[in-house]
Structure 1
Amino acid sequence: MADHRKQTKTLRSLSKRQWTKIAAGALAVVALVGGSAIVVHSHNARQNSLTQVTSYSATDSNALSVSRGTDREDLRGGKAGDTYVTVKINGKNRAVVGSHFTDVKSVLDQGDITLETGDVVKPSLKTKVNESTVITIERADANLETSDAAIGFNTVTKETSDLPKGQQKVESEGQEGVMETTSLVTKAGKKTISSNVFTSFVKKAPVDKVILVGTGSGSSVSSAAANIGSTVPAGEMQQWAHDYLLSNGGSEADFTATVYIISHESGWRVNAQNPSGAYGLPQALPGGKMVSAGADWATNYQTQLKWFWGYCNTTYGSVQGAYNHWLSAHSY
């Protein structure tokens, strides 16, 4: 194993690769500051002393926990044998999941971590890595700043036989959720030179406003659509998702299930980046697996949603199956 304490190097910019664009199209590059640490662990279940990251929810209090793995694909489609990399920046964590890590540079490449002039890296980029390697990157004049933003709630209507036909009643009022974003901010004096998103995830999920609509039938309403309810699309992404599903054989219940899961996983932020390393609307872990749905997976909400529906169909039989699993496990 390499002696990390004796290997220090000052680097010039090593990559021009872009990080991800925020939904409005702004460019954000993930970078690191002083005190950073990346710890590599193996997912190989045959090494009993190590652990495997499992499916999680961005709003689950145990989102960053790990459990004993088995030699199989994980719940998000990752392969056994992958490694996960925990990036620690000023007390904030983000995991990078990848495969075939060979040296320090390969870890940074697969994590889309771009170095800048003046960054100090230990050990050097060509140093071989294993599960015990620790990579530190120091950047001067940069700090992590955290802010919260509101996540809007949806309105869901559900049929009930307990009310006269056509009569409506508010069962529960909606509540906005909270999106927590941590950005790497570089300043010169009081002037901000750059502000790049490091993590952005659902801190508190929104609560839907639920409206009951009477059927006056006198018999219980048992259809899946009635139990899940119909959701009013909010915004361009949800409207597209609604129209796409219905034009491709889906139902209002499928759309409601979609909105519920995505709202809890990412708050409908295309570039949501959970500390565990999951990315995008569906919080794919790692995000790069969404390339199977399109090369623009990092910035295109349509590509991300198509991957999400495909995953739900393959793993749970339908998006409603994934929804039912989410209700019990707070993950999918």
Structure 2
Amino acid sequence: MAKANHRKQTKTLRSLSKRQWIKIAASATAVVALVGGSVFAVHAHNAQQSSLNRITSYSATDANALGVSRGADREDLRGGKAGDTYVTVKINGKNRAVVGSHFTDVKSVLDQGDITLETGDVVKPDLKTKVKESTVITIERADANLETSDSPIGFNVVTKETSDLPKGQQKVQTEGQEGVMETTSLVTKAGKKTVSSNVFTSFVKQAPVDKVILIGTGSNSSVSSAAANIGSTVPVGDMQQWAHDYLLSTGGSEADFTATVYIISHESGWRINAQNPSGAYGLPQALPGSKMSSAGADWATNYQTQLKWFWGYCNGRYGSVQGAYNHWLSAHSY
């Protein structure tokens, strides 16, 4: 009786039929395709993550926070474009970042930055030169000088209730102090006569300090201290009065208005056309300002459009304008 052979019969490469060779080739092709697809997916994922993690804006105006970055998630919530890039434009030695999308050449940067060339301007590199984020565009304007001036930013009066004082009694907790707005303009003169003056940058050099008045509620009040509430702010000027009335008419509170005044005063000093060297623009210092177009086509000149966009962003990012205010107190940005 012959012994059973339990050893596996292994085919050699020479013994494979033509049909078997075809099957092996097909399997190998499928494996290569699978691996290639996986590699492509990994690269695509990494590219997406890189885009999400790229910083797309900077703190706008606070003197202590000019270097604080604002993340891409803020810009996306405000209607920003993931493809936004930054190109530095230097006019007569003064830098400004122009923020936009789909830059192609020097001319496209100047167009999106609303920078108008005048006769005699020397531009380097030339208008048809392709650009990237490392590109620095220089413009030399003859007979023009950069002039910097300071102007005051008014402070507000904030009242806060406290049980630490007898009912009705008032006490000044903090004296008010005006802030400082620094504006740099490109001024062209013919002799002593000013031919043109264009604002290049305008930002809060020093934020105002509100005057805080404590109002006593008595020992039976539920308010334990002045720090327990954000307070009520007295509107100053047409813009603040509109903001106050609009907020209250849409379900907001006095505290929401106080938070609004605080942030806007620190970001732009209530200047509609405030423009930081980073490129941030308007009352809320949107970066770039064109992001506010989601709230209206007149975003560059209408304070109501700018404020509506600001509140929309605060609600989306922090849940409320008071949430943005609390973040601002710790981060000096929002």
TM-score computed with the length of structure 1 as normaliser: 0.80
Aligned residue number for residue 138 of structure 1: 140
Greater RCO between the two (CA within 8 Å, min separation 6)?
Answer: 1
Alignment partner of 1:203 is 2:235: no
CA distance in 2, matches of 1:305, 1:225: 27
Task: Flag the 1:83–1:222 CA change in 2: closer, same or farther, 3 A.
Answer: farther
Say yes or no: does 1:89 pair with 2:91: yes
CA-CA distance at 1:93 after TM superposition: 2.5
SS at match of 2:229: helix
Alignment partners' CA distance in 2, 1:287 and 1:211: 35
Structure 2 residue 108 is the aligned partner of structure 1 residue 106: yes
**Superposition deviation, residue 117 in structure 1:** 1.4
Which one of 58, 61, 66 corresponds to residue 58 of structure 1?
A: 61
Quote the residue 1:30 is aligned against: none
Query: What is the rounded CA distance, in whole Å, between the counterparts of 2:278 and 2:76 in structure 1?
Result: 14
Q: In 1, Cα distance between the equivalents of 2:67 and 2:77?
A: 15
Pick one of 256, 261, 280 that aligns with 2:282.
Answer: 280
Matches within 5 A, 1:311-322: 311-322=313-324
Tell me, yes or no, if the aligned pair for 1:266 and 1:272 is still in contact at 8 Å: yes
Give the counterpart letter for 1:168 in structure 2: Q
The number of equivalent residue pairs is 288
Q: Give the drift of 1:77.
A: 5.0
In structure 2, list runs of 5 or more residues that go unmatched. Answer: 1-47
Q: Decide whether the 8 Å contact of 2:92 with 2:139 is kept in 1.
A: no
Provide the residue aligned with 1:119 in structure 2.
121
The equivalent of 1:13 in structure 2 is: none
Query: Structure 1 stretch 170-179 or stretch 86-95: which is displaced more?
Result: 86-95
Instruction: Give the aligned residue type for 1:63.
Output: L
Give the 3 Å change call, closer, same or farther, for CA 167–242 of structure 1 in structure 2. same
Distance (Å, rounded) in 1 between the aligned partners of 2:244 and 2:96: 32
Q: Alignment partner of 1:85: what SS?
A: strand
Identify the match of residue 186 of structure 2 among 179, 184, 187: 184
Larger Rg: 2
Identical positions, percent: 85
Does the 8 A contact of 1:261 with 1:326 survive in 2? Answer: yes
Is residue 260 of structure 1 aligned with residue 290 of structure 2? no
Distance 2:327 2:79 in 1: 16
CA distance in 1 between counterparts of 2:244 and 2:261 reads 9
SS where residue 320 of structure 1 aligns?
helix
Q: Which residue of 2 aligns with 1:41?
A: none
* More displaced 10-residue stretch of structure 1: 215-224 or 297-306: 215-224
Over 3 Å counting, the alpha-carbon distance change for 1:225 and 1:312 in structure 2 is farther
Tell me, yes or no, if the aligned pair for 2:295 and 2:308 is still in contact at 8 Å. Answer: yes
Whole-angstrom distance in 1 between the partners of 2:57 and 2:259: 22
Query: Could you state the TM-score of these two structures normalised by the residue count of structure 2?
Result: 0.79
| Mapping 1:150-299, distance limit 5 Å | 150-218=152-220, 221=223, 227-299=229-301
